[in-house]
Structures are given as C-alpha cells and as structure tokens.
Structure 1
C-alpha cells in the first residue's frame, strides 16, 4: 500500500465516527495515539466542556502571544500564514535540475507546484518522492513532474488553527494554501507552523545550531536571539528597556512593540534608552536574531 496520491485522485472517505464509543460490530473505538492525537484530543475536550477554568487558563497563557494550547482556539489561519510574496513554489514546467536546486537552496521538504501563476496551484512535490524516483542511480525513468504531485489543502484565512490541524491529521496532508475571497492564493501554512503555536519553535536536524542566546561581540555590543527574556537582557546590559505596564517577556516582543510589524533584515530600531537594535535574521512572523548596541556613555560608565 502506498501513501502517494495525485491531485486528480480523490481522497478516500474516512471511517465513520463512533458516536457511542464502539464500532458497528461491537469493537471498542480506536484511540488516538501519539503527541498529535493527544494534542487534538485536548482541543476537542475543551470544546465539549465549554468555558471551563482550564480553558480560561489556557486563554490567558496564549493572549501574550506565547505558545500554548489555547492558541488552537484563539488563533486563525491568517495569524500564522506565510504571505504569498514569500512562498517558494515551482512551476509545472520545472526541470529536474531546477527542482533539485530549489530544494537544495531553501531546505524545504515540500514545495507547492503551480500552472502559470501561484493562483492556479496543482499540488505539491515532496523531496522524498523526487529522491526515491530520480535520486539513486542512472536508470531512473524519464522525468515527469505531474505524476509525482500530491494534494494540497485549501482553506480560508478565517479558519481556526485547531480545525486546520485536525484536518491535516485526518487527511495526512501537511501543507495548505490559504485562499482569499476572490479565489486567489493569500498564503501558505504547514503543520509545523501550527504545532509551533502550541509548543514553541521546532528546530530540526538541518536548522543551524545556536551556540548561545546572548553572545558578547565587543564592549557594548551583543548578538542576541529574539527569544531571550527581556529581564535577562536588562540585567546583562544595565539598560531599562521596558516599563512595568508593558506585558512583554522577550526581546523579540519588545521589537514588535516598537515597530508594530516584523522589521526587515538590516533595519536599525532605536530605543528611548539610546540603545539600537540591528535586525540580523527574521522569518515571515518574527524576528529571530539581532544585534544590540549600547550607547558609548553607558559602556564607559
């Protein structure tokens, strides 16, 4: 049995649900297993119980933008999507060398494929499928992209991320294109994007290893990961970067508060204390790494 499905192949109907906890022949209903099953089970249980104390606690934890299971109910797809302008996608006319170079350059395992423009998506190409069919030996068949395409999900921006996560698990499709009211593509979401809203950033084997969260470069200058607690930065630098009224926990949260957006790489963000933040690395939703410069008078003091 294979998991391969082309976009023209309909997805098989899912088994009927067990409303009373048993199957039609008296067997016990199958139980969800693994982390994702337990995660979605907690999400479903919260819906059934209504506005309980546990749900309120989760909501409080998620309101400050921190990861938490309450985000499954609170956040929508358009809160986490990668904007259309930043989507890496391949044309249906792409050659094998072009696809290989695209996977190598960007490090993704799945890339959407389109005909003409991204507003006419055909499916996605998985690196594993490409490697197994064309990556080992010289006797590979003639390259044909269309037969290797797998289906995508198409979802509205208003869908909650908990509902989308459940759909991705049920249909075993881990990438979705977000469709706007006119039928065009508005963005892209992967299952990793959704899970990160619950448990925080996921670093895989190919992500760069970070040697330190706050690395001194010179007197009055540090390279800092954005997730460093703000109070730790203040303690190290002697600066006062936030007030007691600010509900900010991390340096990345401070940058977002100062700009109201995700700043561009190379941008310099001034602070009332006289410090400057140089943006070194971002992704579509957050600042990842920056450089902090402390005023010369503060260093000499």
Structure 2
C-alpha cells in the first residue's frame, strides 16, 4: 500500500503536522452520512442524471441553480468559494489582542493563518480553541498562535462539491482553501457553504443579515454592490449590458465596470456605458470596487 500523503493535506504542501492530527481525530472506518447517501443514490435512477453538465450532449445553459441535492454533483468548488479578495485571514505572528479583534470585527469562528502571505497558508485558528486556552484577557500563558493551529484542506477549483463535502465529514475539517494551478490561494469555503447548496441559506442567531445586492433610490437610480450578479441586474432594469461574447468574461456589475475601463476606477469616477447607463463608483480601494450607483437613461428609468 502506498504511503504517499493525501495531496489535499497540509503535509503534501509542506505544512508542519498539526498537534490536532492525532488518532482521536482520525476518520472512523464506517463511512459517513454523505458517503453512504451517495452510495445509495447512485444505485438508483435520478431524473437529474439526464441533465448533468458533464454530458456532452446536454446544453450548458442550466439557468440559476436553486438549492437541491443535484447541486452536489453538478456544482464545482469554484462555483461556491468566496474569492480571495474577500478572505479574512491572519498572519502567524499575530498577537492575542489583534487576533481577538479580528474575530470580533469579522464575526467568524475560524480564520486561515498564513506565514508571510496568504499564498503560504499553514492552517486555521478556531475561536473556541483561543477562548478555552487563553481566554480573552490573555491570562498568564504566553500566546503563540502556531501552537493553536488546526489543519485545513487544500482543494482544486474543479472538485465537485459533493466529493469535498464527503471529505470534510470524513476528515472532520470544516474549512478548505481553493488552490490554483500555481499553488496560490484562490478562494475559501466552509462546510456550511456546501450544505447551503442543498438546503438553502443557513442563518443562526449571530448572523448579520447580508445587504441586498442593490436598492432602488427615489430618483430611479440603483445603489448596488459591485459583486451584484450582472444577469439578475439586467433582468431588474430590462436592459442588456453585455453581448454574448462578453457574457463569458464578466459575472458582476464590478466586473462590467472593469471591462469598460480596463483598470480599477477611482472613487467618485463616472463610467458611461454605450446603452446610456452610467456607473458612479461610490466606494473602492486600489484593488477593487465595492459599491456603485447606477443611473439609467431616462426612457429606461420610466
């Protein structure tokens, strides 16, 4: 039997083994729920099997994906992961007060930890481990973040989310980093992100309601997040903002503005569209656009 490490494990990427990787954390021999579920499911017939995107005879335009068990087969990691620009992470030399502040500001319970840059991840830190080991006032124990790390999975963007969900359950690791072809970090997702593709949005008592992708103002303009889905916004305003060739290049309003300018526009800049629509950059930093105000031509606004 081969002794090569799992390519998705920290050891395969040169990360040091975590103190949490003990026999107690080894996956049980009995297959997990999702492994048993998939095994049972594949033995029967499923109407969705006829519309899998891997079938070369099947049209690729499946439309918006609603929650459902078929998403575990037809969706890939890249369809679910949050982009690199939105990942909240901490450096391995972060002190306890700064770490606690990041937990407070983000509202997250798990954070990826990197050595130098995010492209060199070494594990994740869990809020519960910090609270139980050190408390939030520091205590008397010296704080060393690297001693509190748990392992994190490393997965390619093309992995089916059903496969990843089964692996997360078996390995008892609830966070994965998406690794691109050059070994850099391209995104992040958790086990909750995957389960939501089956049963819909999961919200607990600590979740803060996410802002709507856009709101319509009294003058007929729209105040929109740059990550608002472009196809949904086109349906809202009744205008086509991209042609068939450009549809493959952009998915969001911010991506459309990048396409129009060829650069990251500055805050306050107004970017005109050939249709007469104007995009005003309300909030941006040197790397990305955050919010836009979209003004429609008078006939479209009416």
Aligned to 2:21: 10
Aligned to 1:233: 236
Q: Over residues 44-73 of structure 1, what are the superposed CA-to-partner deviations in whole Å (9 max), with x where a residue is unaligned?
A: 4443436x4233368699932423433322
Output the CA distance in 2 between the equivalents of 1:294 and 1:182: 41
SS in 2 for 1:233: helix
Deviation at residue 175 of structure 1 after TM alignment: 0.8
Structure 2 CA distance for partners of 1:118 and 1:259, relative to 1, 3 Å = closer
Aligned to 1:274: 276
Higher alpha-carbon deviation: 160-169 or 108-117: 108-117
Structure 2 CA distance for partners of 1:257 and 1:100, relative to 1, 3 Å = closer
Aligned to 2:42: 47
Give the alignment's Cα RMSD to 1 decimal.
4.5
Give runs of aligned pairs for residues 46-85 of structure 1, distance below 5 A: 46-49=41-44, 52-56=46-50, 63-68=62-67, 69-84=69-84
Aligned to 1:22: none
Output the CA distance in 2 between the equivalents of 1:178 and 1:214: 28
Question: Which runs of no fewer than 5 residues in structure 1 stay unpaired?
Answer: 1-5, 19-30, 235-239, 247-251
Output the CA distance in 2 between the equivalents of 1:48 and 1:272: 53
TM-score if structure 1 supplies the norm length?
0.63
1:295 maps to 2:297: yes
Deviation at residue 224 of structure 1 after TM alignment: 5.8
Q: Over residues 209-261 of structure 1, what are the superposed CA-to-partner deviations in whole Å (9 max), with x where a residue is unaligned?
A: 36878644222224468479669835xxxxx3259x99xxxxx9684896798
TM-score if structure 2 supplies the norm length?
0.63
Count of equivalent residues: 260
Aligned to 2:11: none
Determine if contact 2:52/2:74 at 8 Å carries over to the other structure.
Answer: no
